[in-house]
Amino acid sequence: MGYRSEVAIALDNEYVDEFRDIIKEHNMESVFTEHDQKSFMVFKTDSIKWNTNYPEIEAIESFFNIVLDEDYGFLRVGEDFDDIEEQGMPWDYGLSVRRTIEIR
């Protein structure tokens, strides 16, 4: 399976169609679930290989370079405990990371 990450991407509504075009172009429509928050949309996936050497991930990262920081939020949590990445302003969109201990 390889190393996987959980990813959430929040975008102001003005960027949603462009982002959908990118994920459609790379056949990733089934990878993300959409959560409509009225003035913005959150795209989330619980298991993705987030490697910038992959063309689809490179396309998404390139998209972030044209969006103003205040117009999006990105969080990625990898399998390793300290592997957390943020871009833009995820906290402005209600995105946060919480680590918990579960007893099964």
- Please give the CATH number for the structural domain made up of 5-93: 3.30.70
Segment 40-58 shows an average pLDDT of 96
SS3 label, residue 97 = coil
Two tokens at 99? 């680590």
Indicate the pTM of the whole model. Answer: 0.92
Q: Mean pLDDT, to the nearest integer, of 45-49?
A: 95
Residues 6+ apart with CB under 8 A from 86: 73, 74, 75, 76
Domain extents in the chain: 5-93
Residue 2: band (very low, low, confident or very high) from pLDDT cuts 50, 70, 90: confident
Task: Return d(Cα 60, Cα 23) in angstroms, integer.
Answer: 8
DSSP 3-state of 26: coil
